[in-house]
C-alpha cells in the first residue's frame, strides 16, 4: 500500500517578498508550513542578506521550477565605494581600501562595458562546487579558492542615483547565473577603486514581478484566522503562470487520459504549426507539458492538479 503524503494538495506559486537575513530554504519551509502543503521548492536562491522576490512553488508547481530558474532577473543594488570585503558584500571583512571615488560621469561611461554577453568570475564566497565542496566552505576554512570565468547575459545596467559621495544605487536586468557582487567588484576595478554591495533586492524573476510579492507577515496573518483563509489561498498564483512562453493546446478527455498514462498520442486537432514544447489543457486545467513534432505529442511532465 502506498504511503499517504503528509500535508494538503496545494498547487501554485507564492511570490514572497523575502526579508533580510532569512535563507531561501528557510523561507520555503515557512511558506510550506503556512499552507500545510505536501511539497515545496523555490525558483532561484536569494542569499540571506538579499531581500525581495523569491518565487516559491507549492505542490505541482514544483514541476515548473526549471522554467522559472531560466527566467530573466532584475535587481536593485547599492554599492559602497572605497572598501572591498572578502565576500564582496557587508557580511565580509574589509581587505582593501581606496580613497578614489568615481564621479557620476565616470560611472555612466563605464556601464556599457557590463552589458551584453560578458565574462564574469563568481565571488569566492559562493555556492559553486569545487571538487564536491562549496566555494564558500573552502573560503571560510582559509583555503585558496580559484573559480573559472563564465559567460553571463546582462540586458541592462543603469545608474539609479548617486546616494552620496561613497555610494551609488543601480538597477540591473540579467540572465541566469549572474552574481551582482561580481558586477560591483568588477565595475569598481574599471573605475580604479574598490567596492562592495551593501544592499541587494530582487524585483523580478520572469514571469513574476514585484507587484505580485507578498510578505511573510501577511501570509502568517491570513493563516491565523479561518475567515482569512480564502484570501490566503487567493494569494496563490496558478501553476501555468510559469509557462507563459510555451504555446497552449486544448485537449479532450480521452487525450487527457492518455497523457496522464504517459502515452504518446496523435491529437484530434492538428498540431502541424506547434513544434517543441506545448502545454496541454483540459477544460482550463494544466494536464501536461509535451514535446510536439508537429504530428504527435509526447508527455515530458504530467500534472496531477485534477
Maximum distance among all Cα pairs of the chain, rounded to whole angstroms: 72
Query: Is residue 47 flagged as an active site residue?
Result: yes
Rounded to 5 degrees, what angle do the CA atoms 291, 296, 300 make?
Answer: 25
How far apart are alpha carbons 241 and 61 in whole angstroms? Answer: 9
- Give the three cell numbers for residue 155: 540586458
- Of the residues 17, 21, 47, 228, only one is catalytic, namely 47
Residue 200 belongs to what H/E stretch?
Answer: strand 195-205
Query: Which pairing describes strands 275-282 and 248-250: parallel, antiparallel, or unpaired?
Result: parallel
In the structure grid, which three cell numbers stand for residue 29, read together? Answer: 519551509
The CA distance from 196 to 228, in Å, is: 43
Helix (H, G, I), strand (E, B) or coil at 78: strand
Residue 12 CB neighbours (<10 A): 22
CB-CB neighbours of 4 under 10 Å = 7
**Residue count of the chain:** 306
Residues tagged active-site: 47
Amino acid at each position: 500500500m502506498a504511503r499517504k503524503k503528509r500535508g494538503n494538495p496545494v498547487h501554485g506559486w507564492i511570490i514572497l517578498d523575502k526579508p533580510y537575513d532569512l535563507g531561501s530554504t528557510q523561507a520555503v519551509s515557512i511558506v510550506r508550513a503556512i499552507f500545510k502543503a505536501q511539497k515545496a521548492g523555490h525558483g532561484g536562491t536569494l542569499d540571506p542578506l538579499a531581500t525581495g522576490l523569491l518565487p516559491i512553488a507549492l505542490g505541482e508547481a514544483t514541476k515548473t521550477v526549471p522554467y522559472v530558474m531560466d527566467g530573466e532577473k532584475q535587481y536593485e543594488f547599492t554599492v559602497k565605494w572605497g572598501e572591498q570585503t572578502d565576500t564582496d558584500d557587508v557580511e565580509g571583512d574589509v581587505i582593501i581600501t581606496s580613497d578614489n571615488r568615481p564621479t557620476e560621469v565616470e560611472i555612466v561611461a563605464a556601464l556599457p562595458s557590463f552589458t551584453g554577453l560578458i565574462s564574469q568570475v563568481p565571488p569566492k564566497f559562493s555556492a559553486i562546487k569545487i571538487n564536491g565542496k562549496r566555494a564558500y566552505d573552502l573560503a571560510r576554512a582559509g583555503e585558496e579558492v580559484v573559480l573559472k570565468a563564465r559567460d553571463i547575459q546582462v540586458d541592462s545596467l543603469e545608474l539609479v542615483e548617486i546616494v552620496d559621495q561613497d555610494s551609488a544605487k543601480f538597477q540591473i536586468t540579467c540572465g541566469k547565473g549572474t552574481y551582482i557582487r561580481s558586477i560591483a567588484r568588477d565595475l569598481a576595478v574599471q573605475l580604479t577603486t574598490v567596492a562592495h554591495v551593501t544592499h541587494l533586492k530582487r524585483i523580478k524573476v520572469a514571469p513574476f514581478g514585484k507587484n505580485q510579492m507578498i510578505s511573510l507577515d501577511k501570509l502568517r496573518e491570513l493563516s491565523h484566522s479561518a475567515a482569512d483563509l480564502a484570501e490566503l489561498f487567493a494569494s496563490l498564483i496558478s501553476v501555468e503562470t510559469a509557462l507563459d512562453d510555451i504555446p497552449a493546446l486544448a485537449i479532450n478527455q480521452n487525450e487527457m487520459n492518455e497523457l496522464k498514462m504517459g502515452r504518446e498520442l496523435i491529437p484530434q486537432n492538428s498540431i502541424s504549426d506547434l513544434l517543441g514544447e506545448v502545454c496541454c489543457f483540459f477544460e482550463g486545467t494544466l494536464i501536461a507539458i509535451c514535446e510536439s513534432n508537429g504530428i504527435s505529442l509526447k508527455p515530458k511532465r504530467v500534472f496531477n492538479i485534477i
